[in-house]
Structure 1
Amino acid sequence: MKIHPLVTDTQTLAALCDRLARSPFVTVDTEFMRENTYYPDLCLIQIADDKEAAAIDPKAKGLSLKPLLDLLVENREVLKIFHAGGQDLEIVHNLTGKTPYPLFDTQVAAMALGMGEQVGYSNLVESMIGVKLDKGARFTDWARRPLDARQIDYAIGDVTHLSTIFPKMLDKLRRTGRGEWLDTEMERLGDAASYLNIPDLAWTRIKVSSRKADVLGRLKALGAWREHEAQGKNLPRGRIVKDETLADIASHPPKTQADLAKVRGLSPNWAGNDIGGRLMAALEAAQPLPDEEMPVRDDRRPGLGKESALIADLLKLLLKIRAREADVAPRLIARSEELEAIAAGVRTGLTLLSGWRYDVFGKDAIALVEGRTAFSVRNGKLLMSEISGE
C-alpha cells in the first residue's frame, strides 16, 4: 500500500479524493482534542482504500476540507468504514450538517461476529490479522505542531489495518448470513438527528430526583441556558456549571442573584457578574414542564408494579443465553430499555419484535413474560422449558 506524505494543501487533497472516489470503500479515522472545548478540535484525518493511504492536516494554512467532506457525505457510491465511529461522525456532522453515507462500523460488525460488545481497535486488529499495535502515541497532543513521523505513522495505521480487516469481516458476515443483522445499528449510528445538541433537550441528560413540573421546568430552562453558554464560549458544559449544581438550583432556586454566592459549585462572583445575571434570567423565564414532556415513571408502566425489576432481570438472563447460543453480542439483539418495555407490556415499535431479532430472542422473550416458558436446569446447564397448558 502506498503511504502518502502528510497532506497540507487543497490541490493534493482534491487529487487524493478523486482517486478514492473510484474505490468501493474507504476507511476513515480522526484524531481530535476535546478536553477543554465544547466542540471537538479536529487535529488530523486519516483515510485509505486498499491501495493508498494518507493523513490530512486540517490545521494546515489555506487547506480546504471540501473535497474530503464531499467524498464522505455527498458520494453515495463509496462505502465509508469507521471503527467505533460515533465521535468521528459527530465531527463530520459539525462540519457539514450531514453524516457519511453509506456507512459501516467495524465495532458494530464485531458484535454480529461474536467478538464482544465494544471490542477495541487494537484487540480487533490483533484478533483479525495478528498485528500487535504500538500504543506509544495513543495519548499524544494532536493539536501541537509539527507532528512527528511516529505520530503520523501511528495515526495512518488506524486506517491501513482497517482496510485489511474490512474485507475479512465482510466475508464472515456473508458466510454467516448476518450482514442484514447490522442494518438497524448502522442506521442508528448514521442518523444525523442524534448528533444535534438541541438546547431545549439538554435537561434530559441531567439526573434529578424530583418529578415536579416546576422543578423540571426550571431544569429545562437551566439546561438550555448552559448549552448556549457552552456553545458560545466553546467550553465543556462542566466548565460552565456542573450537572449536580444545576439540579440543586432547579430544586432550590435562589430568590435573587445575590443568593448565587451561597450556591455550592458556583463562584461568589456570580452574585454580581453577567453570567450570573443570565442564569437568573433563565430561571425567571422558566415555566412548569408540560404534561406531554414529563418523564414516565417506571412504576406507572402498565402491568408491572414492584415486580418490574425482576421481570427485566429474567429477560436479561434469557438474552445472555440466546446471545451465547447465536454467538453474537447481547447489545446487538436488544438494549436494556427494550427489555424494560417488554416487561411493561409493550408489544409494538420495538426492533426485537421483528426480523432476525424476533427469531433469535424476541419470541422467547414474549413467551417468558406471558408465562408460556420457564427456566430449568439440566445436567448443570440453564435451559428454557415450555410450560404445558392445563
Structure 2
Amino acid sequence: MAIDIHWIRDDVSLAQHCAEWQRLPYVALDTEFMRVDTFYPIAGLLQICDGARVYLLDPLLIQDWTAFTALLEDPAVIKVLHACSEDLEVFLRLTGSLPVPLFDTQLAAAYLNLGFSMGYSRLVQAVLGIDLPKGETRSDWLQRPLSQTQISYAAEDALHLAEVFEALRPKLSAEKTAWLLEDGAELVVNLRREIDPDEVYREAKLAWKLSPAQLAVLRELCAWREREARARNQPRNRIIRENSLWPLARTQPDNLVALARIDDMHPKTVRQDGEFILTLIKQVAATPASEWPQALPEPLPMEAAALLKELRAIGQREAERLDMAPELMLRKKTLEALLKSGYPNGPYQLPESLRGWRRELMGQALLDSLAAQPQEEQA
C-alpha cells in the first residue's frame, strides 16, 4: 500500500500546514523518540495524519513550534493518539504545550469493551484486520537520513491511527465520548502537574515501615534524586538506584565504606556523589523532630481484602451494564484510599482521585456499601 507521505522540515512549511490542520475536525498524532540514558525524551520524529495524507515533521530541523502549539491547544480539533503518556511528555518537552481535546484510542477500545490496555498492533489487527510489521520501535530515530523502513513504519502508524479513530468513534455513544475526552483531559492535567520533589518519598517502597526520623532522611534523598535527575537529564536510577533509597534511610551510613555496602548501591554513585549523600544524611539527622514528616499509614490489613473485592464488584456491575472494560471503572489505588480514610469502622470519605463521571456514577454506591458493613466484621 502506497502512503502519501509529505516531509515538513522548516518553520514556514510547518506554520502553513498547521493553519490548514486547524480547519479539520481531527488530526492523528504519533511520535518517535529516544530515551535511553536521559530523564527527558528526545524527539526524533513527529507524525500527523489528516485522514488521507501523512506528514512527517523533523524536530531536528524545526525551530519554531508556535503554530504547532496553537494546533495542539485548538479546542475545535480533536487530537487522536494511542496510549499517549510518553507522547505527551515529548510534546511538553518540545513545545511546552499539550494536546486538547485528547482522544486516546487505547481508552476508546476499553470504553467499547474490546480490551483494556490494548497494544497498538493488537488494536489495529482487531479493528482493521491489518498485521503491522514490528521491528522499528527500538531503532535510532535521531539518525539522519532515516531508513526507508523507519519512514514507512512511522507513516503507517499514523495512517492506521486515523483509520482506527474513524472506525471506533461512531460506535461510541455521546455519553461515552464525553467520558473518554474527560479521561484525556485528566491525563493532560496530571502531566502538567509537576511532581513535587519533596513529596516523592511517599511513593517509595516500604516507606511506611520507617520512623519519622528515618522518613526525614528518605524525603531529602528522594527530593535530591528527583532534582538531580532533571538537572543532569539522567534517569533517576543513574543518580541513586530505587532499591538503595530505603536501606539508606534506615541505616544512615556515616562513611563511604558503609555507603558502598548499601543494597544495590552503584559504585559510580559512591564515587560521584558519595560525600554529598553522607553530608545530606548527617544534616537531616540533626534537624529537630518538629521538622520530620509524619509516619506514613500502614498498608491495609489482609482482612480488608474481602471489603476491597466488594467495592470492586460495584465497578464491575457498572461495567457490565455499560458494556465497558471493568478495569476502566475503579482503580485499585482509589479503592484503597477510600478504605484507608476510615478503616475499620468508618466514617469513610470519597478520595479526591475519584472524580468526574466515576464519582457521579459510583461514589454513593461505594459509601452505601461501606455503611452497610456490620461493625464486628470490620473490627
TM interval, short-chain normalised = 0.7 to 0.9
Q: How many Å separate the matches in 2 of 1:231 and 1:263?
A: 24
Between 1:309-318 and 1:25-34, the stretch displaced more is: 309-318
Q: Could you state the TM-score of these two structures normalised by the residue count of structure 1?
A: 0.82
**Local SS of the residue matching 2:6:** coil
- 1:195 CA drift (Å): 5.4
Q: Does the 8 Å contact 2:213/2:292 carry over to 1?
A: no
1:139-168 deviations in whole A, cap 9, x for unaligned?
Answer: 222222220122111112222112122233
Q: Is residue 80–residue 102 contact of structure 1 (8 Å, CA) maintained in 2?
A: yes
Residue 28 of structure 1, CA deviation = 0.8
In structure 2, what is the equivalent of residue 55 of structure 1?
56
**Partner residue, 2:176:** 178
TM score, norm. by length of structure 2: 0.84
Identical aligned pairs, as a percentage?
31
Distance 1:355 1:34 in 2: 35
CA, structure 1 residues 295+184, in 2 after alignment: closer, same or farther (shift >3 Å)?
farther
Q: Structure 2 counterpart of 1:48, which letter?
A: C
- Go from structure 1 to structure 2 and tell me whether the alpha carbon gap of 1:112 and 1:351 turns closer, same or farther (over 3 Å shift): farther
CA distance in 2, matches of 1:295, 1:372: 26
Cα RMSD, aligned residues only: 3.0
Match of 2:322 in 1: 326
The one-letter amino acid paired with 1:99 is L
Instruction: State the AA in 2 paired with 1:320.
Output: Q
Equivalent position of 1:348 in the other structure: 350
CA distance, structure 1, for counterparts of residue 47 and residue 259 of structure 2:
47
1:6-21 aligned at under 5 Å gives the runs 6-21=7-22
User: What secondary structure is seen at the aligned counterpart in 1 of 2:64?
Assistant: coil
Corresponding residue for residue 64 of structure 2: 64
Q: Which residue of 1 aligns with 2:44?
A: 43
- Aligned counterparts of 2:54 and 2:76: Cα–Cα separation in 1: 19
1:293 is displaced (CA, Å) by 5.7
Q: CA distance change for structure 1 residues 262 and 138 in 2, over 3 Å: closer, same or farther?
A: closer
Is contact 1:352-1:358 (8 Å) kept?
no
Verify the 8 A CA contact 1:342 1:366 in the aligned structure 2.
no
Residue ranges of structure 2 left out of the alignment (5+ in a row): 375-379
Unaligned stretches of 5+ in structure 1?
300-304, 374-390
Letter in 2 for 1:101: V
State how far apart, in whole Å, the 2-side matches of 1:280 and 1:50 are.
57
C-alpha deviation, 1:249, in angstroms: 0.8
- Of the candidates 184, 195, 198, which is equivalent to residue 196 of structure 2? 198
Of 308, 311, 318 in structure 2, the residue corresponding to residue 312 of structure 1 is: 308
**Counterpart AA for 1:310:** A
Residue 261 to residue 166, structure 1, CA distance change in 2 (3 Å): closer
Deviates more, 1:195-204 or 1:36-45: 195-204
